[in-house]
Amino acid sequence: MNDLVDLLKKMLTAPGLSGFESPIREIIREAWQPLTDELSVSKIGSLHGFKEGQGVSPRKRVLISAHMDAIGMMVTHIQDGFIRITEIGGIDHRILPGQPVVVHGREDLPGVVVQPPGFLLPDSVSDGPVEMKYLLVDVGLPPEEVLEKVRIGDTVSYAQEPLELTGEALAGHTLDNRVSVAATTLCLEALQNRNHNWDVWAVASAQEEETLGGALTSPFEIRPDIAIVIDVCFAKGPGSSDWQSLPFGEGVGLGYGPNIHPALFDAFEKKAKALEIPYHRDLMPKMSGTDAMAVQIVAEGIPCAVLGIPLRYMHTPVETVSLKDIRRAGRLMAAFIADLDDTTLDKINWEE
């Protein structure tokens, strides 16, 4: 389809499980290098891209937080050449049997998640779903070679190749949240040709899926005045049709709830309307399930907006997204950032 698909495919095939982000960080570093003035890596492994504003110093700062880490698995045990696993991030064990994976051992080993036949499982399993602790990974090597190449604690990534579906839809693993990194990249691209008074800090954050470690530490270092957290949100699809899910490919989500500063929600809504970018209010009554949960409470507190890219089948290896929504999110963020000026912060207040 275009550069966006190429960038996404490149990002999707790079490993980068929570806490083990360096392979994906290198890909993002390469993409952001020409778009930023300075790149650095935080102590916890988040990538910080700094793009200086054109306003008068001292400038205000806006942070974009898009987590780059992926869910996956970790080796817990090796038995007769077969590998037992646990999860990193949330995985429904029911989607694992028959999944292609890569075991990141002394070298990358392609393999498959195996549901052993019932007679090798406890009677309690019967013919029901098989919990992760009973599943195995087979890398097709003799047992002694597996022992040589794989250790307890090695990570295991999904290996499903990305698929282009009709209507500018893309399916694959780890679209959560590489699509938001892509949208952030589009935003940085758009800002190359636009004036923006504020400094922009684009952060590809680490460890969202497990500890929110990246989202707690990067804002502390950067001390932004406001933050835009961008992540995937639920799209309507089989098994997910209630109020929590937004229509697929029909606009971005604007998070609404206690993690989000209402004035920032209003500002984004206004901007989306002005640009005729379709959006939906994404209700998050208790918490957003995003980096915003952490960013919001860093230091003395940071006003957050949450942008969502609707995604089907979240946390499966066939997550599905519409490229249209990725572009919309990038465009909306760039327009919002270009508008930030000396008066903006005065409007981010609690004067209802």
Partner 1 sequence: MTKNSELTANKGFDIGEQQIELLEKLCNATAVSGDEHEVRQIVLAEIKSFADEIEVDALGNVLAKRFGSGENRVRVMLAAHMDEIGFMIVKKHDDNLFQFERVGGIDERQLPGKAVLVGRDHLAGVIGAKPIHMTTADERMKKIPVDALRIDLGPEIGDKVKPGDRATFATRFKLHGPSILAKALDDRFGVSMLIELLKHPPANIDLLTAFTVQEEVGLRGARVAAYKFNPDMAIAVDSTPAYDLPHWDEEDENVQYNTHLDAGPAIYVMDRATIADRRLVNLFTRAAEAEGIPYQYRQPGGGGTDAGVIHKTRAGIPSISVSVPSRYAHSAIGLARIEDWENTLRLLHAALSRVTPDLLAGERRG
What backbone torsions phi and psi does residue 213 show, to the nearest 5 degrees? -60, -40
Between 92 and 341, CB nearer to partner 1: 92
Between 256 and 268, CB nearer to partner 1: 256
Least distance to partner 1 from the beta carbon of 318, Å? Answer: 4
The b/e string for 299-321 (b: 16+ C-beta within 10 A; e otherwise) is eeebbbbbbbbbbbbbbbbbbbb
Least distance to partner 1 from the beta carbon of 31, Å? Answer: 25
Between 79 and 192, CB nearer to partner 1: 79
Least distance to partner 1 from the beta carbon of 249, Å? Answer: 6
Q: Are 233 and 309 in contact (CB under 8 A)?
A: yes
Between 207 and 290, CB nearer to partner 1: 290
Which segments within the chain are labelled E, that is strand? 38-41, 47-51, 61-67, 72-79, 82-88, 100-104, 108-114, 136-138, 155-158, 163-165, 169-172, 199-205, 226-234, 252-256, 279-283, 304-312, 319-322
Least distance to partner 1 from the beta carbon of 200, Å? Answer: 30
Least distance to partner 1 from the beta carbon of 129, Å? Answer: 6
Q: Are 181 and 322 in contact (CB under 8 A)?
A: no
Calculated CA dihedral for residues 270, 276, 279, 280, nearest 10 degrees: 70
Least distance to partner 1 from the beta carbon of 117, Å? Answer: 5
Q: How far apart are CA 99 and CA 158, in angstroms?
A: 7
Amino acid at 115: Q
Is residue 169 classed as helix, strand or coil in its secondary structure? strand
- Nearest Cα to Cα of residue 51 among 185, 217, 205: 185
Least distance to partner 1 from the beta carbon of 166, Å? Answer: 3
Give the interface with partner 1 as residue ranges (CB under 8 A).
79-80, 82, 90-100, 109-112, 114-117, 119-122, 127-130, 134, 136, 138-142, 145, 160-161, 163-169, 171, 234, 236-240, 244, 248-249, 289, 312-318, 320, 322
Least distance to partner 1 from the beta carbon of 171, Å? Answer: 5
Between 234 and 265, CB nearer to partner 1: 234
User: How far, in Å, are 32, 123, 165, 173, 206 from residue 16 at the CA level?
Assistant: 17, 37, 25, 12, 9
- Which residues are within 8 A (CB) of 247 and not within 5 positions of it... i.e. 6 or more apart? 235, 236, 280, 310
Between 140 and 301, CB nearer to partner 1: 140
The b/e string for 254-290 (b: 16+ C-beta within 10 A; e otherwise) is bbbbebbbebbbebbeebbeeeebebbebebeeebbb
Between 30 and 145, CB nearer to partner 1: 145
Least distance to partner 1 from the beta carbon of 101, Å? Answer: 10
- Structure-block tokens of residue 161: 């190749």
